[in-house]
Structure 1
Amino acid sequence: MSDEMGSVPPEAQQQGYQQVPPPPQYIPPAQASGLSDTAAGALAYITIIPAILFLLIDPYKDKPFVKFHSIQCLGLAICGFCLGVIAVIPILGWIIYIVGMLTMLVVWIICILKASQGGAFKLPVIGKFASEQSGYAA
């Protein structure tokens, strides 16, 4: 009989028993490093910084889902910038700015929710461009 460490007691050694190695321990599989595609796609919409980083950093730059959401986020940011430029026009520009920003807020929330669920909310012009550039068929 052997103890927990796999060594053989002296009386067993005298009878010719050999030392038995301890049983192999269970080693859990290695965890995948990095973010899931859905988490990266949703994070791309937070600001333009993660969107740009996901377009530059491996392995995200090679994933069509993440690339699509990153490009679409950048398109939304450009639209927000254009609305800001329009806001310098008195009265009519202010109205367009307020309505446009409220619309962008709703679209932004929908995009984050869809990306976190593994889908995509394809915007009319920006989404088509992002789909062509990323290779993601939304």
Structure 2
Amino acid sequence: MEKNDLKVNTAGLQDNKTIAIIAYITWIGLLVAFIMNKDKQDPFVKFHIRQNLGLFVIGILSGLLNFIPSVGAMIIYVVFAILFVLWIIGLLGAFSGKTNPIPVVGPMFQDWFKGI
């Protein structure tokens, strides 16, 4: 009987990992993960939703740098490369089932979006 309980817990963890991974797949995945976690309110999923939401917001705001002539485009490439690396780190954290914040900006995202 204990084995069945363990399988249910493992299945629940796997489901939460799946929702956390979905959160990292474009803004549509972020929205889907938010809706899927609305009733569950799982802290693991909420953590990864906040992490990717922060990356998404920084990406949108950095797009405004495009209005700076010549230098803006170069800065955008650097910022997007850094965001891509941070996105990979967050996605790997969701795959591994860990709640390690993304380096440098991750703790800020947890604070900024704590209402989620």
TM-score, with normalisation over the residues of structure 1?
0.63
The RMSD of aligned alpha carbons is: 2.9
Identity among equivalent positions (%) equals 31
Greater RCO, CA 8 A, separation 6+: 2
The residue type paired with residue 114 of structure 2 is: Q
The alpha carbon displacement at 1:60 in A equals: 6.0
* Larger relative helix fraction: 2
Residues 97 and 58 of structure 1: CA distance in aligned 2, closer, same or farther (over 3 Å) = closer
Query: Larger Cα Rg: Structure 1 or Structure 2?
Result: 1
- Note closer, same or farther for the CA distance 1:46–1:39 as it changes in structure 2 (3 Å cut): same
- Compared with structure 1, are the counterparts of its residues 129 and 76 closer, same or farther at alpha carbon in structure 2 (3 Å cutoff)? closer
Aligned ranges 1:63-74 → 2 under 5 Å? 63-74=42-53
Aligned with 1:93 (options 64, 72, 76): 72
**Unpaired segments of 5 or more residues in structure 1?**
1-28
Instruction: Answer whether contact 1:44 1:70 (CA < 8 A) is retained.
Output: yes
Cα separation, partners in 2 of 1:133 and 1:89, compared to 1, 3 Å: same
Instruction: Calculate the TM-score normalised by the size of structure 2.
Output: 0.73
State the SS of the aligned residue for 1:87: helix
**Which residue in 2 is equivalent to 1:127?**
107
Q: Is this contact kept in 1: 2:22–2:32, CA < 8 A?
A: no
CA distance in 2, matches of 1:66, 1:58: 7
- The alignment partner of 2:89 has SS state of helix
SS in 1 for 2:67: coil
Counting matched residue pairs gives 107
Write the distance in 2 (CA, Å) between the matches of 1:115 and 1:125.
17
| Cα separation, partners in 2 of 1:92 and 1:121, compared to 1, 3 Å | farther
Opposite residue 107 of structure 2, the aligned amino acid is G
CA contact (8 A) 1:45 1:112 kept: yes
